[in-house]
Chains A and B, each alone.
Chain A
Amino acid sequence: MTLFLQQFVNGIALGSVYSLVALGLTLVYGVLKVPNFAHGALYMAGAYVTYVMLTSFGASYMVAMAVSIAVLAVLGGSMEWLVFRRLEGKTPVHAMIAALGMLFFMEGTADVIWGPTFRQVPSPFNDVVTLLGVSITEQRILVIVAAVAVMVGLYLLLKRTLVGMSIEAMAQDREGALLVGIDTRRVALLTFAISGVLAAAAGSLIAPLLLVFPNMGELIILKAFVIVILGGMGSVPGAILGGYLLALAETMAGTYVSFAFSELIAFGLLVLVLVVRPTGLFEKGV
């Protein structure tokens, strides 16, 4: 039971990160209908910015994370402004290839600056809290709490602000949004900036628990895609729920079956969805 609880908490921590990454991906997909393959690179960049702030500038962890979020908001936004905006009216295939171009640019840049070596990110939250026989590092608690805070913030943004409502309106009906006077370009720009923020939060939160390296975004972006497809492309609750479910499934499979098996779960789910219902399991009604 203790093992189960322990793994459950670990799964929730991992799921928090999965959900944050999937959320950015799903928002961008909702608004632009483009799967942003470069999204994993934003997550990687977020982790590196935090790493640099901590190690080279001696910033506190919270300051490092704030800087990372700000930098990634700009980086995410500039992706839209410099690239995706110029591809309006072209086929989705063009946008996908451009996204791959940016992915390899960012990975290549990280490789040039920091090299392929794995970096350890120091965290001030190394103490272990024991509760009901389950020991959790403070960093894990931080991951869970901060992720939930970010998600609540995102929810409020989407439901309570004009900007957020425009994002939702555009995701549901782009033409309609244009007709009612929504500046779709501005909304797209903002959505990309938000996706950068979410990726930076995810990357910065998980960095102390994992290692940081240029290709760290590749596997997680695939998992985020699986989550987003499962939860329905463009669906916010689907991304959150899917993130936690996938992470829990992986953690439990890793504990009770084998690590190799846990790695196959995401892929297995993807195949299953395609065979059973290619449009996604929880897709919103037409």
Chain B
Amino acid sequence: MEFPRARGVGVSLLLLTAIVFPLIVDNPYLVSVVVTAYVTAIAVYGLDVMLGYTGQLSLAQGGFFGVGGYTAGILMASYDVSFWIALPAAVAMTSALGYLIGLAALRTRGDYFAIFTLAVGVMIVIIIERWEDVTGGTDGLIGVPAPSGVGPLQFDSLTAQYYLILFFLVVTIYVVWSLMDSLVGRTFVAVRNSEELAQAVGIDAGRTHQLAFVLSAALAGLGGVLYAVFLGYIGPAMGGVQMTFMMLVYLMIGGVASLAGPLLGTLLVTGLMQVLQAFAEYQMMALGPILVVVIIFFPHGLAGLAGHAKRLFQRRGG
């Protein structure tokens, strides 16, 4: 907003980098790591809509990610439904579930909301594990096919899938940006800032929270669908509390309530985890304290630090 041109140039450069990335990097492994990060980032944006913009900690995000992945995965693997039908179906399913759960969960705020959504997340995993006939239980389901082609476009190759998923990521970022940069986003932030004040100026706080929660669930669902399709596999872990925790780590490290934060955090942390794969077994042991340190010392994450540096620079510059 302050420097529209500089910002426009920056965004174009980033997009260009993302577009040429699979062309210049001749390493399928690295490309697939980045694709996984993109997919997860979509769900992390959803988490940010709740946590960053409306101020509520939703711990069902992994669960919704799982519901999206399982809905599409089951439709595609067991019923031969086309990706192009399974995707909207799964997103609709997750949104509807988010709406229903929101009806109960959003009767509360803050800690109760977090506890309730945590319970929802755990229940989703329990249901996935127990409903073996449909979900494949703890083993999950393999054989989720790649998206079918559309006209001349085929999505069998890694590069094609990279672009498909990049497309959905860009759409996600655009949607989040356009909402937050509008009266709708102002309403979200007003409710986060002070629910009482927002209500006193005529804002329906309940409806605002409900909208944010459905949007957040929808993005988790979208991420889950793409995750299932890209890996070709669905398993209960993708819906687990640990998945939610990882998303929180990405979001907090990248920076809440910032447009770059979710993508930045997800790319950085997944990238680092790949580099340090030799120490994979220590992953949770390390990420826990890192999250705590971030919360205590850098509550606005990397995006916050960058903003801070920019302000310092501007002040010195005059």
Q: Is A148's CB within 8 Å of the partner chain B? A: no
B residues in contact with A270, CB < 8 Å: 116, 119
Q: Is A138's CB within 8 Å of the partner chain B? A: no
> Which residues 105-123 of B have a CB within 8 angstroms of A?
105, 107-108, 110-112, 114-116, 118-119, 122-123
Give the most central of A35, A90, A105: most B CB within 10 Å.
A105
Q: Is A222's CB within 8 Å of the partner chain B? A: yes
Q: Would A225 and B282 count as touching, CB distance under 8 A?
A: no
A86 and B283 CA atoms in complex are apart in Å by 24
Give the most central of B241, B242, B296: most A CB within 10 Å.
B296
- 0 or 1 for each of B43-73: is its CB under 8 Å from A? (1 = yes): 0000000010001110100000000000000
B residues in contact with A274, CB < 8 Å: 104-105, 107-108, 112, 116
A67 and B125 CA atoms in complex are apart in Å by 35
Chain A positions near chain B (C-beta within 8 angstroms): 29, 33-35, 37, 83, 86-87, 90-94, 96-98, 100-109, 111-112, 218-219, 222, 225-226, 229, 233, 260, 263-264, 266-267, 270-271, 274-275, 278
Q: Would B288 and A104 count as touching, CB distance under 8 A?
A: yes
Chain B positions near chain A (C-beta within 8 angstroms): 51, 55-57, 59, 104-105, 107-108, 110-112, 114-116, 118-119, 122-123, 126, 130, 241-242, 245, 248, 252, 281-292, 295-296, 299
Q: Would A100 and B291 count as touching, CB distance under 8 A?
A: yes
CB closest residue in chain A, given B104: A274
Q: Would B291 and A96 count as touching, CB distance under 8 A?
A: no
With contacts A93-B57, A274-B105 taken as known, whether A98 is within 8 angstroms of B112 at the C-beta atoms is: no
Pairs A–B under 8 Å by Cβ, sample size 30: A29-B111, A35-B114, A83-B292, A83-B296, A87-B295, A90-B299, A92-B111, A93-B55, A93-B57, A94-B295, A94-B299, A96-B114, A97-B295, A101-B290, A104-B288, A104-B291, A105-B292, A108-B287, A111-B281, A111-B284, A111-B285, A222-B122, A225-B118, A229-B112, A233-B111, A263-B126, A266-B119, A274-B108, A274-B116, A275-B104
A87 and B114 CA atoms in complex are apart in Å by 18
A86 and B294 CA atoms in complex are apart in Å by 12
B residues in contact with A106, CB < 8 Å: 288
A37 and B111 CA atoms in complex are apart in Å by 10
Q: Would B281 and A98 count as touching, CB distance under 8 A?
A: no
Give the most central of B112, B281, B282: most A CB within 10 Å.
B112
A257 and B205 CA atoms in complex are apart in Å by 41
B282 CB contact (under 8 Å) in A37, A108, A275: A108
A101 and B293 CA atoms in complex are apart in Å by 9
B residues in contact with A90, CB < 8 Å: 295, 299
With contacts A90-B299, A100-B245 taken as known, whether A278 is within 8 angstroms of B112 at the C-beta atoms is: yes
A33 and B112 CA atoms in complex are apart in Å by 11
A-B contact count (CB 8 A): 112
Q: Would B115 and A229 count as touching, CB distance under 8 A?
A: yes
A35 and B115 CA atoms in complex are apart in Å by 8
A residues in contact with B290, CB < 8 Å: 101
Give the most central of A91, A102, A108: most B CB within 10 Å.
A108
Q: Would A96 and B112 count as touching, CB distance under 8 A?
A: no
Q: Would B283 and A108 count as touching, CB distance under 8 A?
A: yes
How far does the Cβ of A95 sit from chain B's closest Cβ, in whole Å?
8
A residues in contact with B287, CB < 8 Å: 101, 104-105, 108
A263 and B126 CA atoms in complex are apart in Å by 9
A residues in contact with B51, CB < 8 Å: 93
How far does the Cβ of A102 sit from chain B's closest Cβ, in whole Å?
6
B107 CB contact (under 8 Å) in A97, A218, A266, A275: A275
How far does the Cβ of B68 sit from chain A's closest Cβ, in whole Å?
21
CB closest residue in chain B, given A221: B118
Further 9 A-B residue pairs, CB within 8 A, beyond A108-B287, A111-B284, A229-B112: A92-B110, A94-B295, A96-B111, A97-B291, A103-B288, A105-B289, A106-B288, A274-B105, A275-B107
With contacts A90-B299, A229-B112, A274-B116 taken as known, whether A105 is within 8 angstroms of B285 at the C-beta atoms is: yes
How far does the Cβ of A21 sit from chain B's closest Cβ, in whole Å?
14
A26 and B119 CA atoms in complex are apart in Å by 18
How far does the Cβ of B129 sit from chain A's closest Cβ, in whole Å?
11
Q: Would A105 and B288 count as touching, CB distance under 8 A?
A: yes
A106 and B245 CA atoms in complex are apart in Å by 14
With contacts A222-B122, A260-B130, A274-B105 taken as known, whether A98 is within 8 angstroms of B292 at the C-beta atoms is: yes
A residues in contact with B288, CB < 8 Å: 101-106, 108
A residues in contact with B122, CB < 8 Å: 218-219, 222
Q: Would B291 and A98 count as touching, CB distance under 8 A?
A: yes
A112 and B220 CA atoms in complex are apart in Å by 30
Q: Would A218 and B104 count as touching, CB distance under 8 A?
A: no
How far does the Cβ of B32 sit from chain A's closest Cβ, in whole Å?
25
How far does the Cβ of A84 sit from chain B's closest Cβ, in whole Å?
10
Q: Would A101 and B111 count as touching, CB distance under 8 A?
A: no
Q: Would A271 and B296 count as touching, CB distance under 8 A?
A: no
How far does the Cβ of B61 sit from chain A's closest Cβ, in whole Å?
12
A83 and B292 CA atoms in complex are apart in Å by 7
With contacts A112-B285, A222-B119, A274-B116 taken as known, whether A101 is within 8 angstroms of B291 at the C-beta atoms is: yes
A271 and B288 CA atoms in complex are apart in Å by 30
